[in-house]
Structure 1
Amino acid sequence: MSQDHASLLIELGTEELPPKALDELAGAFASGVVDGLARRGIALDAAQAKTFCSPRRLAVRVPGVAVRQPPQKSEVLGPYLNIGLDANGAPTPALTGFASKNGLAIHDLQRVGDAKGERFVARSEKPGQPTAALLPEILVEALKALPIPKPMRWGNRDYAFVRPAHWLVVLHGDQVVECEALGLASGRMSRGHRFHHPHPVHVADADSWLDALRDAKVLADPAERRARVRAEVARVAPAGAKPRLGDALCDEIANLTEWPVAIACTFEREFLSVPPEALVTTMETNQKFVPTFDADGRLTEHFIGVANIESKDPGEIRKGYERVIRPRFADAKFFFDEDLETPLAAQQQALENVTYQQALGSVWSKCVRVAELARVIANRVGVDAGLATRAAALSRCDLMTRMVGEFPELQGVMGRYYATAGGEPAEVAQALDEFYAPRFAGDAIAQGRVGQVLGVAERIDTLAGIFAVGMKPSGNKDPFALRRAALGLARTLIEGGLPLDLPAQWEEAFALLPESALAAGLPKGKDGHSPPLDAGARRAELAREVHAFVVDRLRGYYADQGIAGEAFEAVRALAPADLTDFDARLRAVAAFSRLPEAQALAAANKRIGNILRQAGVSTPGAIDAARLEAGAERALADALAAAETDGAPLLAARDYVGLLTRLARLRDAVDRYFDAVMVMADDEAIRKNRLALLGRLRNLFLQVADISLLPGT
């Protein structure tokens, strides 16, 4: 610590904070403090600012914080000379008022010039304020900016926060900075572990705070706490059992403990007859326990709990953990055994009594539509239609089971188990689980072909139905997760290699919807009534709208892969019906755009398009070889003919990369043509012949994409 700079520590102590929100709150608090210092021009080492948090505190330590602001300079623009001075050069009331307002004499005002002329300016410099004087408002601003969706009040206080606040430490070096927030006056007394060190903790200075809390059994550094959680879990893991501690679970455990201590536990082996997903869900999601697996990846009867105390009798904690998990496991086993007594298909009747959406009917009605779509899609992509239809008919049956009622996150997973137990084909059982994939961003698509077909059919029906009833996403509102469904549909088609005419499939999907659903989404007029339903026109309009919605999702999908938006638009302009074909074309255009000839050919295509449009040519006529002039024009015609011959088999094979690579060789001929030939010749016959040549050249590129939309030279 120097006389001019010192570390700043701000710690706010609270009741236990929400573990899932703790990291975000701590980061926002630290950013608010750092930004508040920077906005006021206070020197600090922002790069070394450190965020701290634990279940009972938010804190930030910023090194190198200056003890005061630098001098504060101000510049206020005043009236122009023609306004500030009269005809005799004497100050006008406008100028005297400006000078008086800024506390300066007329002769202390300076002049600056701008585009409108010369004007007066008041410049002043004031000493910077002490940092200690500015910290109270910085702290209040940082607290007000925290992302707290539901602040709470406590006692009879007028203020609110995420949890009741109990202490406040603000130290600049070894000096307490007087602040007040949430009814607390700042000091240097922090608090340690609730049980191991219930007494106040004296903090000598900002830099010793972390060690002082560590001595009081509090690990305030979240990274250190996470590392200890992992080390503790590894320490107590039984031999031959491998703990599964994902980042999300580790973060949550770390945000629930200040001094984590792992406890090895076991449960009865009879519970291993329950699907492991149910047991793991109970352990990880409900109890924050760490499951363990054997060398073959099978769940074992061992699990690990992480306590927030270093107990003298860890056996009692172990008994508590085992006692709390046993009833949940017993319920899961009971529900599973009970569900097995009823065939999965027997749940179909119950689905008729569950409303999917008022205008779209019951969940069973949706299953019937999905089954028909799955049959059609399966036949088109070469998948067993019988298996796809059977999977669709069973796809929602597990929703009516007791296990899924207790563990909703296991829908699909339990369908697979019950279908397997009921003797359904393995492909059907697998599809009941997989058709939900991708379940989240970054998740893989379904791996089985039946699951892929069912996933496509399910999403097509969902999108068509919700669009029909007028509940499509708007702004940040997407209650039916249609954006995720659209991207999942597109990804399954592309990554699964399913060649499907998607616009035609939309037409079939809308044809399966009742007219009441189509009418439900019609906008109402000023009289409060909807116009008469034209079912055919409504279906066609909706098909175009939902298809555009799905394709729009692909822009971000490809951007994440480093493919430029211009390449995406170049392919979208041709509107390929098959998304696998769209993908092949786009990747070819992305590869073409990296060739040295790409920019020149893109510019030439743009020029050709403009010429044809201005000439009113939409469909080029035939080329009259007799009217071609020797030299650059005939050379281009010959090069074009050769490219067409070479490109035909490439196009037939959908080798778009090869085709565009071949077309790139036209660059020299195209460049020489535009250098030597006047397209819009006075002779009408020659002009039309040249336009036909250019039209044929442009159409050759349009067999892949509209490369005129790529960046050109």
Structure 2
Amino acid sequence: MSNTTSLLIELGTEELPVKALPGLAQALFDGVVDALGKRGIAVEHGGAKPLHTPRRLAVLLPSVAVEQPEQASEVLGPYLNIALDADGQPTRALQGFAAKAGVEWTALERTSDAKGERFVHRAVKPGVATRELLPEIVREAVAAMPIPKPMRWGDHDHAFARPLHWLVLLLGNDVVEGELFGIRADRMSRGHRFMHDKPVWIGRPEDYVDALRGAKVLVDPDERRARIVAEVEAAAEQAGGSARIEPGNLAEVNCLVEWPRAVACSFEAGFLAVPPEALVATMEANQKFFPVLGDGGRLSEHFIGVANIAPKDDSEIRKGYERVIRPRFADAQFFFVEDMKQGLASMNDGLKTVTYQAKLGTVADKVARVAALAEAIAPQVGVDPALARRAALLSKADLQSRMVGEFPELQGIAGRYYAMQDPALDDLSHEDRNALANALDEAWQPRYSADDIALSPLGKVLAIAERLDTLAGGFAAGLKPTGNKDPFALRRNALGLARTVIESGFDLDLNRLLADASIRCNSKVLSADLPSASELERSVEVLESLDISSKELMSALESILGEQFDEKFTIGVVNCVTDQVPHLKDFILDRLRGYYADKGVPVQHFNAVAELRPASLYDFDRRIDAIGTFAQLPEAEALAAANKRINNILKKAGDGIPATIDPSLLKEPAEAALAEAVEAVYAETGHALAHGDYVDALAHLARLRPQVDAFFDSVMVNADDIALRNNRLALLRRLSERLGSVAAIEHLSG
């Protein structure tokens, strides 16, 4: 790229919002590059990236064209039959067009299109110098930035993330004249607020990073981050441990300092009796410190603070850091001791006075529902149902603790510590007590999108039961998410449920689990205004589609509802359950769509399995794996296309297709061969399908391709003879049923 120079834009501000800072810097960088490109100004930014500190946003581009290329324009005018009269003289239309273009009509050129010949004005203008366009480019890029909470200052209407105090705008060695928010552009930046509080001369853009480094400002966020890590690790090593550097905490610290300096600190070892998660939460979330871990990864009494200054003696800074953290630690210690005196049972009693949701009752009501679900799920996965029930009944007790009241992020974690020491659980064996305590923590997993699922079988049972009740309760109370609104986090709970079931390998019947949870929630939600008994009939079809007979559901209702079990009330619950369960299942499958997309599963594979709506999510996952293997086979595309064709034929044929094939009507060799192959594959795949060996089943089905191809090449399905036609349709239906036994493979076609 010839005739280029470097470009520097720096916006100097008051301290910018920490969490928004990287995004603001990226938006400014992208906005400037896009605005240059939109104007045809060539840019080669190579490894250029957004630069920022708490007090500045900067764009440094090493190579920018000094002017636009020539700007060619072409404006189409009137067609000749409109532009010229019978004597070939210009009409008013042509004269007006020429006047607007600023030329005589005789200077206009002609062009042709599908409608005929017309006049056209072509012109070439020299490109505008980049320096003339830069002020507008900066204003445009700044206006497009996503400012979370714009701030106004002074006696004007300017609004930005923080007040602007200086503006650097250099193109090559020269200052570009311009202004932003009333601040005129200059070449004078500013150094560190405390260590170099004076203007910093920027001779040319290439000098920018080094000039600020000399003024005690590391404007490159990567360089600043690397120094933080190096200093924190060195300080932790001197303290005899290793630093816990959590990425989110590191990112925030990096946006708080311009010249980082690690300061080694400590606290009283007695505080280590408090759950370490509470201490870590205080250090990281509240104070942005880095904990130091000792032997075995256990929390030590040391931590590292990062100052935005490098004094000769950091003892006063150390004292300040230690002083600010001590009251929070003392509070945590007090809360923990008092909670231990109270005990989990007492905390649980307090849940009876806490409303979970107006229609769904108290948190205690929710806990009771979760406990019943956990008790029902446990024996299906080899977990003691009595232990599952007991754990579930304590799963939200710590919400009434002082510790969780002060540190909400410790829900479940606090419960684990209390359960390990609560005398009320002394009747449990050491193994069961550990399992119960860990499950109270694991029941909340996954806590966020990248989090692991619960580790222990008991924890998995609680996690599944908790999410089943949350989902069923949300739908029963009319809280299904709309748009961006999801106050009960039903989307996250649906994905957490699906992940826990699939990644645990639990072959559970989702339809029945959802029905059970829905019965319990709807029996709480329903009022006295219930439907008549005649409405029971409309539920039967839905029940059958869920593979749940009305007799089974009524039996479940009777055991769940107890004294509430009467015909009118029960019918109301049945109707709600049969309405909600299919929608709940669809909601969960929608979450799985994104889950599998993140794993690289093609949408066609997902749709092929989703169409069959398997009752088990684990079974769904096995089918996804199998269809991925099948799709790699050379026969897959042809069989998918054939099944698509078969389905279209059967759909057009409608009802009346015989249930069985009549061997005597197999007249053509190709149809006889296909019928024989179909029966053979039924025999070969029966055991594999029954035991979920879908890869083996699909491998056998792939061998049908020669017979299927031969059939469609030589056999007329819609024969004039009705008996022959119906027999061939019966053969195709039997073939299609087996081809679609693992997934609707026609989705793999085209």
Task: Give the TM interval when normalised to the shorter protein.
Answer: over 0.9
Q: Does the alignment pair 1:268 with 2:240?
A: no
Q: Does the alignment pair 1:135 with 2:134?
A: yes
Match of 1:526 in 2: none
SS of structure 1 residue aligned to 2:194: coil
TM-superposed CA distance for 1:518, in Å, is 5.0
1:469 and 1:521 in contact (8 A); partners too: no
TM-superposed CA distance for 1:116, in Å, is 3.1
Identity %: 57
TM-superposed CA distance for 1:407, in Å, is 0.6
Q: Does the alignment pair 1:212 with 2:211?
A: yes
User: What pairs up with 1:431-450 in 2 under 5 angstroms?
Assistant: 431-450=439-458
Match of 1:78 in 2: 77
2:361 and 2:524 in contact (8 A); partners too: no
Q: Does the alignment pair 1:582 with 2:607?
A: no
More off after superposition, 678-687 vs 486-495: 678-687
Instruction: Give the AA of the match of 1:664.
Output: A
Match of 1:485 in 2: 493
1:567 and 1:590 in contact (8 A); partners too: yes
Match of 1:281 in 2: 281
C-alpha distance 518-487 of structure 1, shift in aligned 2 (>3 A): farther
TM-superposed CA distance for 1:620, in Å, is 4.8
2:108 and 2:119 in contact (8 A); partners too: yes
More off after superposition, 475-484 vs 25-34: 475-484
SS of structure 1 residue aligned to 2:453: coil
- In 2, Cα distance between the equivalents of 1:408 and 1:321? 24
TM-superposed CA distance for 1:285, in Å, is 0.8
Match of 2:16 in 1: 17
- In 2, Cα distance between the equivalents of 1:646 and 1:515? 47
C-alpha distance 452-618 of structure 1, shift in aligned 2 (>3 A): farther
C-alpha distance 650-535 of structure 1, shift in aligned 2 (>3 A): closer
- In 2, Cα distance between the equivalents of 1:339 and 1:388? 24
- In 1, Cα distance between the equivalents of 2:522 and 2:590? 27
Match of 1:537 in 2: 575
C-alpha distance 458-516 of structure 1, shift in aligned 2 (>3 A): closer
2:473 and 2:522 in contact (8 A); partners too: no
Match of 2:549 in 1: none
TM-superposed CA distance for 1:296, in Å, is 0.8
Q: Does the alignment pair 1:152 with 2:151?
A: yes
SS of structure 2 residue aligned to 1:650: helix
- In 2, Cα distance between the equivalents of 1:222 and 1:475? 36
User: What pairs up with 1:475-514 in 2 under 5 angstroms?
Assistant: 475-514=483-522
C-alpha distance 192-33 of structure 1, shift in aligned 2 (>3 A): same
Instruction: Give the AA of the match of 2:701.
Output: L
C-alpha distance 132-605 of structure 1, shift in aligned 2 (>3 A): same
TM-superposed CA distance for 1:112, in Å, is 2.8
Instruction: Give the AA of the match of 2:80.
Output: L
1:620 and 1:695 in contact (8 A); partners too: no
Match of 1:252 in 2: 252
SS of structure 1 residue aligned to 2:353: coil
2:522 and 2:576 in contact (8 A); partners too: no
C-alpha distance 435-618 of structure 1, shift in aligned 2 (>3 A): farther
- In 2, Cα distance between the equivalents of 1:553 and 1:326? 44
Match of 1:528 in 2: none
More off after superposition, 250-259 vs 117-126: 117-126
TM-superposed CA distance for 1:121, in Å, is 2.1
Q: Deviations over 1:294-314 (max 9, x none)?
A: 231111111111111111211
Q: Deviations over 1:504-538 (max 9, x none)?
A: 2222222112557357999xxxxxxxxx9954323
Q: Deviations over 1:363-417 (max 9, x none)?
A: 1111111111212222333322112111211111101111111111111100111
Match of 2:566 in 1: none
C-alpha distance 89-620 of structure 1, shift in aligned 2 (>3 A): farther
C-alpha distance 62-53 of structure 1, shift in aligned 2 (>3 A): same
Question: Which of the residues 678, 681, 698 maps onto 2:716?
Answer: 678
- In 2, Cα distance between the equivalents of 1:346 and 1:599? 63
Match of 1:178 in 2: 177
2:109 and 2:120 in contact (8 A); partners too: yes
- In 2, Cα distance between the equivalents of 1:568 and 1:512? 31
- In 1, Cα distance between the equivalents of 2:656 and 2:311? 83
SS of structure 1 residue aligned to 2:378: helix
SS of structure 1 residue aligned to 2:342: coil
C-alpha distance 373-119 of structure 1, shift in aligned 2 (>3 A): farther
- In 2, Cα distance between the equivalents of 1:478 and 1:111? 61
Instruction: Give the AA of the match of 1:99.
Output: A
Question: Which of the residues 734, 737, 747 maps onto 1:696?
Answer: 734
2:239 and 2:302 in contact (8 A); partners too: no
Structure 1 unaligned blocks of 5 or more: 523-531
- In 1, Cα distance between the equivalents of 2:81 and 2:382? 85
- In 2, Cα distance between the equivalents of 1:261 and 1:175? 35
Match of 2:543 in 1: none
- In 2, Cα distance between the equivalents of 1:506 and 1:520? 24
TM-superposed CA distance for 1:472, in Å, is 1.3
| Number of positions where the alignment pairs a residue of Structure 1 with one of Structure 2 | 702
2:235 and 2:264 in contact (8 A); partners too: yes
Match of 2:308 in 1: 308
- In 1, Cα distance between the equivalents of 2:386 and 2:166? 67
2:359 and 2:525 in contact (8 A); partners too: yes
C-alpha distance 377-473 of structure 1, shift in aligned 2 (>3 A): same
SS of structure 2 residue aligned to 1:196: coil
Instruction: Give the AA of the match of 1:489.
Output: L
SS of structure 1 residue aligned to 2:159: coil
Match of 2:482 in 1: 474
TM-superposed CA distance for 1:617, in Å, is 4.4
Q: Does the alignment pair 1:323 with 2:331?
A: no
Instruction: Give the AA of the match of 2:472.
Output: A
- In 2, Cα distance between the equivalents of 1:468 and 1:93? 72
Match of 2:590 in 1: 552
Q: TM-score, normalised by structure 2?
A: 0.91
C-alpha distance 618-110 of structure 1, shift in aligned 2 (>3 A): farther
TM-superposed CA distance for 1:79, in Å, is 2.2
TM-superposed CA distance for 1:161, in Å, is 1.1
Instruction: Give the AA of the match of 1:458.
Output: E
Instruction: Give the AA of the match of 1:329.
Output: F
Instruction: Give the AA of the match of 2:713.
Output: D
- In 1, Cα distance between the equivalents of 2:572 and 2:86? 77
- In 2, Cα distance between the equivalents of 1:133 and 1:668? 71
SS of structure 2 residue aligned to 1:147: coil
Structure 2 unaligned blocks of 5 or more: 426-432, 531-568
More off after superposition, 650-659 vs 366-375: 366-375
TM-superposed CA distance for 1:640, in Å, is 1.4
Instruction: Give the AA of the match of 1:510.
Output: S
- In 1, Cα distance between the equivalents of 2:68 and 2:90? 36
Match of 1:453 in 2: 461
TM-superposed CA distance for 1:618, in Å, is 7.4
- In 1, Cα distance between the equivalents of 2:45 and 2:93? 44
- In 2, Cα distance between the equivalents of 1:693 and 1:103? 78
Match of 1:640 in 2: 678
TM-superposed CA distance for 1:264, in Å, is 1.0
Match of 1:44 in 2: 43
Match of 2:611 in 1: 573
TM-superposed CA distance for 1:111, in Å, is 2.7
Q: Deviations over 1:118-177 (max 9, x none)?
A: 332222121221211111111111111111121111232321111111111001111000
SS of structure 1 residue aligned to 2:111: strand
More off after superposition, 622-631 vs 26-35: 622-631
- In 1, Cα distance between the equivalents of 2:416 and 2:105? 87
